[in-house]
Amino acid sequence: MSEVLDLPTTRQEGWRWADMATLEAAATSAPASPAIDPKTLFLDTLDGPRLTFIDGIFEPAHSRPGPVQVTAIGEATEHPLGRRAAGEGWLLSLDKGAAVPGIQIVHVGSGGENHVPARIELGEDATASVTETFAGSGWANRLTQIVLARGSRLMRSVRLLQTDGFVSIRDEATVAQAASLVSVFLGAGGMGSRIDGEIRLAGEGAYGEMGGALLTRGSQKQEAAVVLRHAEPDGTSRQVWRAVAADMSTASLAARAEVARDAQRTDGEQSLRGLLLNRSATVNLKPELEIFADDVKCAHGATVGELDERALFYLQSRGLPPARARALLTHAFVGDALDRIGEEAVREAFAADADTWLEEAL
Amino acid sequence: MLKIENLHAEIDGKEILKGLSLEVNAGEVHAIMGPNGAGKSTLGYVLGGRPGYEVTAGSVTFAGKDLLDMEADERAAAGLFLGFQYPVEIPGISNVQFLREALNAQRKARGEGPVSGADFLKLARSQADLLGMNQEMLKRPVNVGFSGGEKKRNEMVQMGILGPKFAILDETDSGLDIDALKAVGEGINRIMRAPDKAVLLITHYQRLLDYVQPDKVHVLADGRIVKSGGPELAVDLEREGYAEVAA
Ligand SMILES: Nc1ncnc2c1ncn2[C@@H]1O[C@H](COP(=O)(O)OP(=O)(O)OP(=O)(O)O)[C@@H](O)[C@H]1O
Ligand SMILES: [Mg+2]
C-alpha cells in the first residue's frame, strides 16, 4: 500500500511526530454511508455561503455556495500530502473591496481517503471569513492555497471533529502589504491529525497568524507543523498554540518563525504551551526562530506542565467539584488560542467543542 | 460549631501540626496569632482540605460532621470558607464566572436551585460596593494583576457572595491600607457576625482586632495552641512579643 501512497516517513525531518500509521489505516478503511447529517455541522448564527463535501465530493443538496465556486484547482505544490489534493475543489476569488463574511464549509467522511484542494484569493482590501468543520471518519486530506492582496483580510477557523480516521491540512499562504491572515485550528475529535502550514508575509506591514489548540486523549496523536516567514519589513506574526494531552495520547507542536535580512522591525510572538492531564500523556514542543534581520522583536516561550495544584485547590475551596475545577482551568488554558477567532459565533462554537471534549476527557 | 482535637498533620512527611486542639462556638470570633512558620496557614489548609496535607491523628468536627472525611468542595458546600493568605491568580477565568459557578455548585450540593445570572450580578455588585471594590474588577480574571490589598478585598467579596457559616481568614489584614483595613474589618462584622456563624482570624497584628473584636485569642507555636485568653492577650502579645507571653 505504501508504494501506492508514497507517504512521508517518520524518519524524515519534519515528520518525526506524524502518525502515518493512523493515516494509512484511515485511507484503507472501507467507506460506509455517512451517519452524520451535514446540516447539524453548520453554525445557524452565520448566514453566509455554505458548502458540503461528502467523502470529498461536493454535495449541492446541502450547499448554497454563493460566490464560492466549485471547480478544478490546478495549482501545484511540492508538499507530499498537499500535492495529492488535486482536481475538483472550491475557489473563493474576491474582487477589490468585496466582503463575504460567514462562509462555512463542512466535510463529512465515511471512510477511505478523500482529497479536496481549495484556493482563496482576496483582491485589494477585500475581506472574508471561512469556517471549516471536519466530521465522520476516513482520511480527509486538504490543500488550501491563500493569496491575500494588499490590505485584504482573511479570518480562517478550522475545527477537526472527526470521530476517528485522520485529517491532514496543508495551508500555503502569501500575505501582501498591510494584508492580514488569521488562522485558528481546533483539533477536538478522535482522529489523528497533521496541521501543516506555511505563511509568507510578502509585503510591508503584513500580519500573519496561525495557531490553535490540539486536544488529544486515548492513544490519539495530533500535530501541528507550521512555518511563518517574514520577508518584508514591519510585519507582525503570532503563533499561539496550546496542546492538551490526556491518557496515553500525544500532541505535538512544531512552530518556526523566520525573519529575512530585509524584514526589519518585525514583531513576532511565538507561544507554545502544553498541558498534561495525565503523566502517561506526551506533549512535544519544537519552537524555532531563525532571525537574519537585526532590528526585530520576537517574544517566544515553550512550556509543558500540569494543572496548577494551587489553582485547583483555590477553585475547589470555593465549592467547585474537582472535575469542574479541572475543566475550567483547562478551558482557560485553551482559551488563549481560541480567543484569537474574530467572529463571536465561531469563537463560541469552538469553545463549546473544546468544552464537550473536556467533559468527556476529564 | 468547630471542634479540633489533638490534630496532627504533616506535609511531605514533615510534621507541622503537633497535637492542636481548639473549639469555636457559633456566634464567636477567635483570633490565632503566632510566630512565622508556626503552622497557622497549615491549619487553614488542613481545615480547608488541601491535597498533600496529611492528617495523621486527631479529629475535626464541623456542625456535627466529620470535616476530615469531606472533600474540599464538600466542605465549602457545608459552609466553610478559607480566606487565603496568598490568593491565587487564575488567568482566563473571570471573577463573576468563577463565583457564580462556585455559588451554584455549593447550592446544588445543598439541594438548592441555581441563582440566575441577573440575581447573581446584583449580589456580586452589592458585595463589591460594600467592600469598596471597583465593579470592573468583577469582570477581570480572578486576582490576575490585582495588588496585594485588592486580592484581600476580593477574598472578602467572595466571602460576602458565598455567605459561609464559618470563615478561616488567614492574614486577611496583611497588605491592606488603612481604609481597606477598615472596609475589611466592617465587612467581616457584617457578613460573619451572627449567632449562627463563627470566624477564625489568623493575624499578626492587633489593628484588625480593633475592628473585629475577638472573643478569644490563641497563640499557636510549633504546631500547637500554647496559650489562650481573652482579647487582652492580643494586646500583651503586641507589646511584649511571643517569647515573653507564650513562654
Ligand atoms: N510543602 C511544604 N513542605 C515542607 N514544609 C512546608 C511546606 N509548606 C509549609 N511548610 C512548613 O510548614 C511550616 C508552617 O508553615 P505555615 O505556612 O503554616 O506557617 P505560618 O504560621 O502560616 O507562618 P506565617 O506567619 O509566616 O504565615 C513552616 O516551617 C513551613 O516551612
Ligand atoms: Mg501563614
Mean pLDDT score, A201-206: 98
CB contact under 8 A, B105 and A324: yes
The answer to whether residue B131 sits within a structural domain is no
pLDDT at A3 over 50: no
> How far apart are alpha carbons A196 and A169 in whole angstroms?
6
The per-residue pLDDT for B238 is: 85
The protein residues having their C-beta less than 5 angstroms from ligand 2 (an ion) are: B 40-41, 85
- At residue B239, the pLDDT reads 87
Q: Does residue B69 lie in a domain region?
A: yes
Nearest to A102 by CA among A149, A46, A55, A171: A46
Residues 6 or more apart whose CB falls under 8 angstroms from that of A165 comprise A22, A26, A29, A109, A111, A136, A137, A138, A139, A140, A191, A192
Residue of B10, B11, B85, B169 to test ligand 1 pocket, by largest number of atoms within 8 Å of CB: B11
Under a CB-based contact definition with an 8 Å cutoff, are residues B48 and B77 in contact?
no
With beta carbons under 8 A apart, name residues in chain B contacting A311.
88-90
Report the sign of the C-alpha dihedral through residues B135, B139, B145, B148, in that order: positive
Complete DSSP assignment for A95-125: -TT-EEEEEEEEEEEEEEEEEEEEEEEE-TT
Residues in chain A within 8 Å Cβ distance of B166: none
Q: How far is the CA of B66 from the centre of ligand 2 (A)?
A: 25
pLDDT computed for residue A4 by the predictor:
56
Domain extent for B187: 2-91+164-246
Which element (helix H / strand E) includes B182?
Answer: helix B178-192
* Residue B106 resides in a domain: no
Find the mean pLDDT for residues B170-195.
93
Whether the predicted pLDDT of B222 surpasses 90: yes
The answer to whether residue B101 sits within a structural domain is no
pTM (2 decimals)?
A: 0.90
Average pLDDT, chain B: 94
Structural domain includes residue B103: no
Residues B105, A332: C-beta atoms closer than 8 Å:
no
Task: Please work out whether the CB of residue B12 comes within 6 Å of at least one atom of ligand 1.
Answer: yes
Q: Is any atom of ligand 1 closer than 6 Å to the C-beta of B14?
A: yes
Predicted pLDDT of residue B244: 77
| Region B72-82 average pLDDT | 97
Q: What is the chain B residue with the closest CA to A314?
A: B88
Q: Which of B76, B93, B103 sits opposite A317 (nearest CB)?
A: B76
Read off the pLDDT of residues A128-164 as tens digits, 9 standing for 90 and up. 999 999 999 999 999 999 999 999 999 999 999 999 9
Tell me the Cα Rg of chain A: 20
Q: What pLDDT score does B247 carry?
A: 61
B140: burial class by Cβ within 10 Å (0-12, 13-18, 19+)?
middle
CA dihedral B227, B35, B62, B164 (to 10 degrees): 130
pLDDT in tens, A297-349: 999 999 999 999 999 999 999 999 999 999 999 999 999 999 999 999 999 99
Cell of B119: 440575581
Residue A362 has pLDDT above 90, yes or no: no
Ligand 1, atom 7, lies closest to the CA of B11
pLDDT (mean) for B132-160? 93
Asked whether residue B97 is domain-assigned, the answer is no
Give mean pLDDT, residues A168-185. Answer: 98
Alpha helices in chain A (DSSP H): 2-5, 20-27, 309-317, 322-338, 344-361
Residue A83's Cβ-count burial label (10 Å; 0-12, 13-18, 19+) is middle
Ligand 1 atom nearest B85 alpha carbon: 27
Domain count, chain B: 1
d(CA B116, CA B104): 9
Tens digit of pLDDT for each residue in A73-127?
A: 977 899 999 999 989 999 999 999 999 999 999 999 999 999 999 999 999 999 9
Read off the pLDDT band of B6 (50, 70, 90). Answer: very high
B13 and A CB contact within 8 Å: no
The Å distance, Cα B124 to ligand 2 centre, comes to 28
Within a domain: B141: no
pLDDT of residue A74: 79
Contact of B225 with B20, CB cutoff 8 Å: yes
DSSP A250: E
What are the tens digits of pLDDT across the range B183-212? 999 999 999 999 999 999 999 988 999 999
Residue from A242, A273, A309, A315 whose CB has the most chain B CBs within 10 Å, to mutate? A315
Closest CA to A192 of A218, A153, A228: A218
CB B223 within 8 A of CB B231: no
Check whether A207 has a pLDDT greater than 60. yes
What stretch of H or E contains B153?
helix B148-162
From A302's Cα to the closest Cα of chain B, the distance in A is: 17
Amino acid at A148: L
Q: Which of A219, A186, A156 is nearest to A355 (CA)?
A: A186
Q: In what order do the strands lie in the sheet with B29-33?
A: B80-83, B166-170, B198-202, B29-33, B216-221, B224-229
Give residue-wise pLDDT tens across range A246-302.
999 999 999 999 999 999 999 999 999 999 999 999 999 999 999 999 999 999 999
* pLDDT (mean) for A230-238: 97
Phi/psi of residue B70, nearest 5 degrees: -105, 150
Verify whether the Cβ–Cβ distance B90 to A324 is below 8 Å: no
| pLDDT(A7) > 60 | yes
CATH of residue B41: 3.40.50.300
Whole-number Cα distances in Å, A146 to A138, A203, A281, B22, B137: 25, 14, 35, 70, 42
Retrieve residue A89's grid coordinates.
475543489
Strands across the sheet containing B2-11: B14-24, B2-11, B53-62, B65-66
Q: Considering the domain boundaries, does residue B150 fall inside one?
A: no
pLDDT band at A5, cuts 50/70/90? low
Instruction: Label residue A33 by pLDDT band (50, 70, 90).
Output: confident
Cell of B90: 487564575
pLDDT for residue B241: 85
**Spacing, Cα B241 to ligand 1 middle (Å):** 20
For residue A2, is pLDDT > 60? Answer: no
Ligand 1 centroid–CA B155 distance in Å is 21
Binned at pLDDT 50, 70 and 90, residue B125 comes out as: very high
